[in-house]
């Protein structure tokens, strides 16, 4: 127990994930061949010595519950603390049935849980962020700085759908912006460190005024009154909010430098194991510039692609620039380019699916093409 | 806690015929098939057969095996009643001894077995690759009203002298047992898998222990004595894939069998999964110039060169321009750019330097000069450009070791 508590938000929000986002919350979107987005937040927390993590859930969370189980894979299955699932249990008005309108409403929905937090500080994180953050350092510098809230910001040219942007001067947040037509400032990663005491005060205050938005009613409204500090993270940080963003960010993993940074042995990204056998590449199989998980069978051609566990690419099939989720089956003679196949998709013989780098095609879970 | 059936797994094998490859571990902890260790097979078979209590008898260099088994979680053997238990030799108030033989190992753990008061005890060994439903064997044991049931498989007649051979009557009850007979009367070989009725076995173990002449071994003492006493001994016929991987050649063969669907070793069947404690690493990456064919690969690997007809474990690196053929690379092996590895088994964490040549192929050598598999001990590091001839075995300091 090191004084930092984790809260991960995983509830439905406006996004452009098409079929990928209809059946699951963004936190359980598969990424990088064997991970779910939430694995990165959980690993960042656990690698920072965090022992207690609550996950705020609402809507389509079956997939996430299946994935997390007891939290064993992250050493979060504990007698005291560990992983806590937080569906909306403090019903008020229509919170049970309607999606949360913002983080403050979501926190109000689990208000009694906040009172059980044993740690003095809380890291608030969005479940749709893929980044291997040095949360231990971020936490330490937050405490040292005496800031009220530290906002972690990305430092790359990527924009994200419905992103929050910060203007920063001398490490201090001077402006909080969103709904920007043309993004400016630093992209917020929606990771914040705040003291448990202040967080509870703010939740109660917002509830009393029927305010639900963290960025509008807390960050924007109180930026002059509170000390809002920024922490700039220059490493890989992807927010899974549109198909295009998902695709571009996935393809970045084929770059060895990005993999080396995201999967640094100093902060291992933990994920649930798969009980699959080794991947087999057949005598005529070709597999180049690709990431391949366990239990695949590759008899055809695979190029510039990411294959999750148990993918089957038959002889004569050609898969290029695509992301194939767990259990995808590509039959002989089929041709795919710029396609994202959700779980258990079957593409039958001699079918052709062609997207483009600017418009990858999504095939919904379980579809037969 | 009463259990109908528990399993005892003899995992004390030194693995001396695997020579340097076992390094500091017991044979059942030796990696197999890219992501498994040998002991995953009997442990997974137990779980899949509905046996939830397994005692694992260890004595040689058990550290790696103990930490691998841990709580038994990967095999679902971490239940609150039963689960997997490591059973090393121990000291009692009247002293204690090393496990003298397979039967003595069980004898010393009578106390453990009595805790569960089982009707039947399945005795397994930790050095075979196979998938078997032990519950079907127990069913055969019950139906035959046997005191002991031994699983057997047909082997080619010419190989029969290498095995313990059972002769059976028309009801497949065992009438005769011969350990490595020069002139076998049958080709039914014992697979070293036994089901005993515990009350009967308990008595035989106690009597056997009291006999100073005995070697305290199942095959040499317990089975022949029971047969001599006229106990009902049933044979249980097994027809699937089974391989003793106690030698370097057989270990290599079994790895190659995994690649070929005709061998009968299918590890992709979801109805009988083989579980393993998996390492945590990102998926394997195959580079732009990688040529990987007819091979098994695993997570954490970065492959830039040529890999053909090989089994690669997790976290293996094959550099650009390197070639690995007909080889088995255990976890964490690094093959630097330009190196060639053929017909070899590389132990855990080996490093083959740039432009090394390790092993050779039987096609390139004539039959009389072909030395066989080349083997590197775990942790062996070869300096750049070194040549290791076929059949050579190197220890962990890259010194030559004789087989």
The tens digit of pLDDT for each residue in A298-324 reads 999 999 999 999 999 999 999 999 999
**Of A33, A274, A287, which has the smallest distance from its Cβ to B292's Cβ?**
A287
> pTM, whole model, 2 decimals?
0.92
Per-residue pLDDT, A116 = 94
- How confident is the prediction for chain A on average, in pLDDT? 91
Name the residue of chain A whose CA is nearest to B266's CA.
A277
Asked if the Cβ–Cβ distance from A274 to B278 is below 8 Å, we say yes
Segment A110-138 mean pLDDT: 94
Asked if the Cβ–Cβ distance from A292 to B290 is below 8 Å, we say no
Per-residue pLDDT, A120 = 95
Asked if the Cβ–Cβ distance from B268 to A295 is below 8 Å, we say yes
Asked if the Cβ–Cβ distance from A281 to B297 is below 8 Å, we say yes
Per-residue pLDDT, A79 = 87
Whether chain B has a CB inside 8 Å of the CB on A288: the answer is: yes
Separation in Å, CA of A104 to nearest CA in chain B:
35
**Of A271, A284, A288, which has the smallest distance from its Cβ to B290's Cβ?**
A288
In chain B, which residues touch A (CB < 8 A)?
33-35, 73-74, 258-259, 267-268, 273-276, 278, 280-299, 302, 311-312
Per-residue pLDDT, B100 = 85
The C-alpha angle A329, A332, A338, rounded to 5 degrees, equals 60
- Are B237 and B168 in contact by the 8 Å Cβ rule? The answer is no
Per-residue pLDDT, B74 = 92
- How confident is the prediction for chain B on average, in pLDDT? 92
Whether chain B has a CB inside 8 Å of the CB on A290: the answer is: yes
**Of A33, A274, A281, which has the smallest distance from its Cβ to B295's Cβ?**
A281
* Interface A-B: count of C-beta contacts within 8 A: 100
Whether chain B has a CB inside 8 Å of the CB on A285: the answer is: yes
Separation in Å, CA of A295 to nearest CA in chain B:
7
> pLDDT at residue A95 above 60?
no
Per-residue pLDDT, B19 = 82
Asked if the Cβ–Cβ distance from A277 to B274 is below 8 Å, we say yes
Chain B interface disruption, residue of A32, A250, A279, A284, most B CBs within 10 A: A279
CA distance A315 to A331: 8
* A349 vs A59: which has the higher pLDDT: A349
Asked if the Cβ–Cβ distance from A292 to B295 is below 8 Å, we say no
Whether chain B has a CB inside 8 Å of the CB on A72: the answer is: yes
Per-residue pLDDT, B381 = 95
Segment A318-343 mean pLDDT: 96
> pLDDT at residue B40 above 70?
yes
**Of B275, B276, B280, which has the smallest distance from its Cβ to A268's Cβ?**
B280
Asked if the Cβ–Cβ distance from B268 to A294 is below 8 Å, we say no
Whether chain B has a CB inside 8 Å of the CB on A280: the answer is: yes
pLDDT digits (tens, 9 = 90+) for A142-195: 999 999 999 999 988 788 888 899 999 999 999 999 888 888 889 999 999 999
Per-residue pLDDT, B228 = 93
Per-residue pLDDT, B238 = 95
- Are B49 and B2 in contact by the 8 Å Cβ rule? The answer is no
Per-residue pLDDT, B367 = 66
Segment A314-342 mean pLDDT: 96
CA distance A60 to A68: 14
Whether chain B has a CB inside 8 Å of the CB on A116: the answer is: no
Helices (H), B26-185: 40-48, 63-69, 102-107, 110-116, 134-144
**Of B276, B284, B289, which has the smallest distance from its Cβ to A279's Cβ?**
B284
CA distance B302 to B285: 5
pLDDT digits (tens, 9 = 90+) for B334-383: 999 999 999 999 999 999 999 999 999 887 766 667 788 999 999 999 99
Separation in Å, CA of B358 to nearest CA in chain A:
23
> pLDDT at residue B122 above 90?
yes
Per-residue pLDDT, A92 = 57
Phi-psi map region of B248: left, alpha, beta (phi>0 left; psi -120 to 50 alpha): alpha
Whether chain B has a CB inside 8 Å of the CB on A70: the answer is: no
Per-residue pLDDT, B194 = 96
**Of A269, A287, A297, which has the smallest distance from its Cβ to B286's Cβ?**
A287
- Are A128 and A240 in contact by the 8 Å Cβ rule? The answer is yes
Question: Among the listed ranges A103-112, B171-180, B306-315, B358-367, which one has the minimum average pLDDT value?
Answer: B358-367
pLDDT digits (tens, 9 = 90+) for A28-50: 999 999 999 999 999 999 999 99
CA distance A13 to B185: 75
Whether chain B has a CB inside 8 Å of the CB on A32: the answer is: yes
> pLDDT at residue B207 above 70?
yes
Question: Among the listed ranges A53-62, B128-137, B228-237, which one has the minimum average pLDDT value?
Answer: A53-62
Residue B291 with chain A: CB contacts under 8 Å: 286
Segment B11-23 mean pLDDT: 79
Phi-psi map region of B326: left, alpha, beta (phi>0 left; psi -120 to 50 alpha): left
Separation in Å, CA of A123 to nearest CA in chain B:
25
CA distance B279 to A158: 33
Per-residue pLDDT, B299 = 94
Asked if the Cβ–Cβ distance from A297 to B268 is below 8 Å, we say yes
Per-residue pLDDT, A91 = 56
> pLDDT at residue A96 above 60?
no
Per-residue pLDDT, B42 = 96
DSSP letter string, B15-59? -GGGGGGGTTS-GGGSEETTTEETTHHHHHHHHHTT--EEEEE--
Residue A295, CA distances (Å) to A11, A37, A275, A316 in order: 31, 21, 9, 20
Segment B22-28 mean pLDDT: 82
> pLDDT at residue A212 above 70?
yes
């Amino acid at each position: 127990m090191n004084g930092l508590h984790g809260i991960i938000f995983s509830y439905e929000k406006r996004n452009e994930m098409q079929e990928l986002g209809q059946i699951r919350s963004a936190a359980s979107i598969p990424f990088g061949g064997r991970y779910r987005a939430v694995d990165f937040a959980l690993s960042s927390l656990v690698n920072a010595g965090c022992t207690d993590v609550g996950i705020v859930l609402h809507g389509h969370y079956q997939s996430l519950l299946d994935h997390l189980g007891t939290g064993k894979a992250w050493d979060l299955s504990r007698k005291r603390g560990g992983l806590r699932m937080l569906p909306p249990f403090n019903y008020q008005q229509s919170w049970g049935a309607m999606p949360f309108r913002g983080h403050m409403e979501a926190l109000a929905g689990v208000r009694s849980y906040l009172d059980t937090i044993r740690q003095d500080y809380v890291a608030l994180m969005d479940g749709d962020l893929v980044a291997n953050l040095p949360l231990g350092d971020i936490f330490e510098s937050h405490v040292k700085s005496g800031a009220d809230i530290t906002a972690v910001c990305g430092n790359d040219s990527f924009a994200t759908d419905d992103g929050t942007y910060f203007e920063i001067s001398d490490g201090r947040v001077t402006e909080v912006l969103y709904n920007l037509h043309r993004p400016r400032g630093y992209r917020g990663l929606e990771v914040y460190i705040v003291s448990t005491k202040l967080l509870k005060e703010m939740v109660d205050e917002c509830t009393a005024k029927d305010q639900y938005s963290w960025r509008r009613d807390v960050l924007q409204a109180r930026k002059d009154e509170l000390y809002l500090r920024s922490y700039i993270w220059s490493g890989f940080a992807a927010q899974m909010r549109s198909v295009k963003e998902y695709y571009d960010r996935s393809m970045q993993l084929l770059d060895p430098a990005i993999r080396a940074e995201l999967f640094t042995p100093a902060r291992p990204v933990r994920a649930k194991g798969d009980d699959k056998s080794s991947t087999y590449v057949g005598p005529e199989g070709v597999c180049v510039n690709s990431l391949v998980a366990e239990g695949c069978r590759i008899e055809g051609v695979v190029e510039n692609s990411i294959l999750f566990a148990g993918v089957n690419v038959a002889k004569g099939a050609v898969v290029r620039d695509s992301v194939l989720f767990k259990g995808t089956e590509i039959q002989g003679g089929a041709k795919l380019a710029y396609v994202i196949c959700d779980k258990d998709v079957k593409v039958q013989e001699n079918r052709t699916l062609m997207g483009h780098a600017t418009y990858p095609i999504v095939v919904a879970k379980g579809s037969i093409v | 806690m009463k259990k109908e059936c528990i399993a005892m797994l003899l995992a004390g094998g030194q693995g001396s015929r695997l020579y340097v490859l076992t390094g500091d571990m017991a044979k059942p902890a030796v990696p197999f098939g890219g992501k498994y260790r040998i002991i995953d097979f009997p442990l997974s078979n137990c779980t899949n057969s509905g046996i939830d209590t397994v005692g694992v008898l260890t004595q040689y260099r058990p550290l790696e095996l103990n930490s691998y088994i841990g709580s038994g979680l990967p095999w679902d053997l971490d239940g609150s009643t039963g689960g997997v238990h490591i059973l090393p030799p121990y000291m009692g108030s009247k002293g204690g001894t090393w496990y003298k033989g397979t039967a003595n190992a069980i004898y010393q753990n009578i106390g453990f077995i009595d805790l569960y008061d089982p009707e039947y005890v399945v005795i397994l060994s930790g050095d075979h690759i196979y998938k078997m439903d032990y519950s079907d064997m127990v069913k055969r044991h019950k139906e035959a009203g046997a005191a002991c049931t031994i699983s057997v498989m047909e082997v080619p007649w010419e190989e029969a002298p290498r095995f313990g051979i059972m002769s059976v009557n028309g009801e497949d009850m065992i009438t005769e047992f011969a350990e490595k007979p020069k002139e076998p009367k049958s080709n039914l070989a014992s697979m070293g898998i036994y089901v005993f009725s515990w009350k009967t076995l308990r008595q035989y173990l106690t009597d056997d222990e009291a006999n100073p002449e005995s070697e305290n071994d199942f095959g040499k003492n317990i089975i022949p004595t029971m047969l001599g006493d006229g106990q009902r001994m049933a044979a249980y016929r097994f027809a699937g894939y089974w391989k003793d991987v106690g030698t370097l050649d057989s270990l290599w063969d079994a790895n190659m069998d995994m690649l070929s669907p005709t061998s009968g070793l299918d590890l992709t069947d979801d109805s009988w999964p083989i579980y393993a404690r998996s390492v945590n690493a990102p998926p394997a990456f195959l580079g732009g110039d990688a040529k990987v064919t007819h091979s098994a690969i695993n997570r954490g690997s970065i492959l830039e060169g040529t890999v053909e007809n090989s089994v690669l474990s997790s976290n293996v690196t094959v550099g650009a321009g390197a070639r690995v053929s007909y080889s088995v690379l255990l976890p964490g092996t690094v093959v630097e750019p330009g190196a060639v590895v053929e017909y070899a088994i590389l132990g855990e964490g080996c490093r083959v330097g740039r432009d090394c040549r390790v092993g050779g192929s039987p096609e390139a050598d004539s039959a009389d000069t072909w030395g066989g598999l080349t083997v590197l001990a775990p942790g062996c590091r070869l300096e750049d450009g070194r040549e290791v001839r076929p059949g050579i075995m190197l220890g962990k300091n890259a010194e030559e070791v004789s087989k």
